[in-house]
A and B are shown apart, each in its own frame.
Chain A
Amino acid sequence: MNPIPGPIILLALPLIAAAVAYLLRRLTLLAALISTLTTGLLAALCWRLPLDRSSFVLGQEVGFGRPIVVLGQTLMLDPAGQMWLVFVFGLVAFFYLFAWRMSQGRSFFSFSLVVVALYVLVVLLQSFALATLILAISATLLVFVLQAGQPSLIRGAQRYLVITLLAVPLLLLASWFVDQSAVYFQDIEGLAGGSSAMAEVLSQAMARRALLPAALGFGLLLAAFPFGTWMPAVAAEAPPMVSAFVFTVGQSMALYLAMSFLGRVPSLLQDSTTLIVIQLAGLVMAAAGGVMAAVQRDFGRLFGYAALSDLGILLLALGSGGSQGLRLALLHGINRSVSITLVAAALAVLRHRATTDRFEALRGMGRHLPVATAGLVLGGLALAGFPFTAGFGTHWAVRLATWNWVQPFSPQAEGSVPPAMGIVPLQEWLWVLTLVALIASSLGIVVGLLRGLGAMQGDGARPDVARQPIIASLLVLGLAAFSLVLGLYPQLFLEPVSEAVRMFSLF
């Protein structure tokens, strides 16, 4: 008997679980249990099963790395995709576990499982154009989960949908340029007298045309400045765990797509213009998110802007270049996922009990819901890169890398700008602006948190608000402890991240 191909398991299990979870959507315990077990099992399979040989699972022979062909498309799991899916399934399993106690909308389990199956398809597909279209299709389904049936509240979901769909034409165009560069190479090489070197140069020139549409397309998908306005809107309106789903798993899939694209044109990632654009976009996002977080009047938007600012830090890590930059970006991606999940879990408890997250209505909540308050503060501080929290290690490394990047532009180092860095706009002010932006990105979030915390103080008893939920609070405490462990041991995930970077083979 032939071994069962891995792609079939990875696609079929979430879809079957989605159907069952939909039928059982009124029985939250069962729906959550099925969703958590399915994604947890898939995370374990992705973590344990080898791709190069068959193995036995519950007496069945499974060929996890065995490709299948569906409608002319080859679906195959590669090592980088396998690592990525461990992260996706593992994180989603926690979301489902938490949603058992704090409802995130009845459609959350079933629809998000379908979305996860589509993410698996993005990883399995060999065609970048099709992967882009599948990611956009998943965004149309996410709209239903983001909106969660709340009357009138559509702004966040609508903006997310519009931004994601606008990225599709740009990315398809970029993909087409890259495909054409290969055709171009063969055509020129095939010409009489056409040399390989000339074909290579002309083909790379063709591939460089993909840079602008790719930068705009991935900028839209990754909510880069100025396309990130949907993040605070989503955080303000959508159930917190759904927001966390989009900010962590959803954006990680956009990042995966970006890596796949760069894997096809590695020269783009070594291009100084690309790196400068990524660095500047990240810097503006980090600063703008931090400043906006400081002036919010509710925890939802504060969460959205803090996540946006932290995403800017991730882009700064990516833009610091080379395999070290990618390693730092992926490590930061894991740390920020923990921080975002912690804030979302605490926010879910707060909204569930207090029915609002507006500062003005939270008087006395700090004392009434201490675990949720502590989770909000700790998660927020982690997003700001505060010492002893999950975000500190990578924030510090990114800040050092960014500072080293702008050092040549400072007055002390006049005339020592390496030619490879080219001409940067406003370069005489760059080091000052960078310093201000890096400080603002953290300080803004801390100020926003202090304002929220101040509003939650007060001795007034709140008989209208139920006591804090036990299981949800324990989950928040567990996440908070994990965040502190990551703060003390930031290298905890360094080995799998280094392995993932090696598997992407971009450098």
Chain B
Amino acid sequence: MEAFAEAFSFMTGLPAIVGIILTAATIFLTSDWRLSLTALLVQYVLLGLTLSRFVQPELAIVRVLVGILAVPILYLTARRLQDARNSRQPEQGEVRFLGLPMGWGAGPLGLPLRLLAVLLVALAFIRFFPNYEALLSGLVVAGPSLPSDVTVISFWMVSMGLAGLVLSGDALRVAPALLTVLSGFEVVYAGLQTDLAVVGFIGTLTLLAALAFSYLAAVQGLGPATAPADEEATEP
């Protein structure tokens, strides 16, 4: 375990933090399942590396393994649905970037709105982060306090995940967003709670959540007219 930790020690600091911030933003911005699931996988690995700084390496590895198992569950479903999605050709002249409609006329949930949302989350981060850090430092009565970079990524991941949940209706977009929220919480909670039973059940919950979303995505794809991503039907 120590050899493993040493081999990746160069990644555990700033590179992992920057990587997590970028992957969370990518998951939020892209509607291409390949990109979002790859970003989710990378995020789990980087999260494991970050966690290895202040929890036992075994727990960090369990966390990475859970992510490595959860992502393929979603991947297999997404792959099966690909053919159905392929049958829906992009409209003539529709410009796409990262799988998202680019123009303002593409609907309210296209890339421009998501970029705007990222900007708002960044502003909220600047405004509220000191309060959030004070809250988190208040959590730790005994023992070492949480490193500030960990509080930064937890805030960012939870914010990006929640924004993704608000703006997405497609199961394959909701799943990475929700898993990002849970990971953002876990990175803080792992420093507070080291009970193996709790860690194990959180891992089980993550895997079952991936399975449930995978099922929902498959059923959504079985419908007569698959609703395109980001275009959830309005509720009557």
A contact residues vs B (CB 8 Å cutoff): 71-73, 127, 129-130, 133-134, 136-137, 140-141, 143-144, 147, 149-155, 157-158, 161-162, 165-166, 168-169, 172-173, 176-177, 180, 183-184, 187, 206, 209, 233, 297, 301
Contact = CB atoms under 8 A, between A and B. Distances in A.
B181 A169 contact: yes
Contact of A165 (B169, B209, B227, B236): B209
A140 B211 contact: yes
A152 B220 contact: yes
A130 B197 CA distance: 8
B178 A165 contact: yes
B178 A143 contact: no
Contacts, number: 106
A452 B208 CA distance: 39
A434 B227 CA distance: 41
A152 B219 contact: yes
A187 B58 CA distance: 30
Contacts of A133: 198, 201-202, 204-205
By Cβ-Cβ distance, the 7 closest A-B pairs, closest first, are A152-B223, A169-B185, A140-B208, A133-B201, A143-B212, A151-B222, A140-B212
Nearest to B211: A140
A244 to B, nearest CB: 21
Contact of B216 (A127, A136, A147, A183): A147
Given A166-B178, A168-B205, A172-B198, 17 more contacts: A72-B197, A130-B197, A133-B205, A137-B205, A141-B212, A143-B212, A151-B222, A151-B223, A152-B226, A158-B171, A166-B181, A176-B192, A176-B193, A177-B139, A183-B142, A297-B236, A301-B236
A158 B198 contact: no
Q: Would you call the interface of chain B mostly helix, strand, loop, or mixed?
A: helix
Nearest to A138: B208
Contacts of A134: 201
A206 B165 contact: no
A129 B193 contact: yes
A165 B165 CA distance: 12
A150 B219 contact: yes
Contact of A141 (B195, B208, B222): B208
B178 A162 contact: yes
B174 interface: yes
Interface residues of B, number: 40
B47 to A, nearest CB: 15
B220 to A, nearest CB: 5
A3 B225 CA distance: 58
A173 B198 CA distance: 12
Nearest to B158: A169
B197 A73 contact: yes
Nearest to A134: B201
A152 B205 contact: no
A86 to B, nearest CB: 27
B141 interface: yes
A306 B171 CA distance: 28
B100 to A, nearest CB: 21
Given A137-B205, A161-B212, A152 B224 contact: yes
Given A152-B219, A161-B212, A137 B204 contact: yes
B197 A147 contact: no
A161 B174 CA distance: 11
Nearest to B162: A166
27 contacts: A72-B197, A129-B193, A130-B198, A133-B204, A136-B205, A137-B201, A137-B205, A140-B208, A140-B209, A143-B216, A144-B212, A151-B219, A152-B222, A152-B224, A152-B225, A154-B216, A154-B219, A154-B220, A158-B171, A158-B174, A161-B212, A161-B213, A165-B178, A165-B205, A166-B178, A169-B181, A206-B141
B212 to A, nearest CB: 4
A301 B236 CA distance: 10
Contacts of A153: 219
Contacts of B197: 71-73, 127, 130
A3 B179 CA distance: 44
B153 to A, nearest CB: 15
A75 to B, nearest CB: 12
Contacts of B211: 140
Given A129-B198, A144-B212, A162-B178, A173 B224 contact: no
Given A133-B201, A151-B223, A161 B209 contact: yes
A366 to B, nearest CB: 23
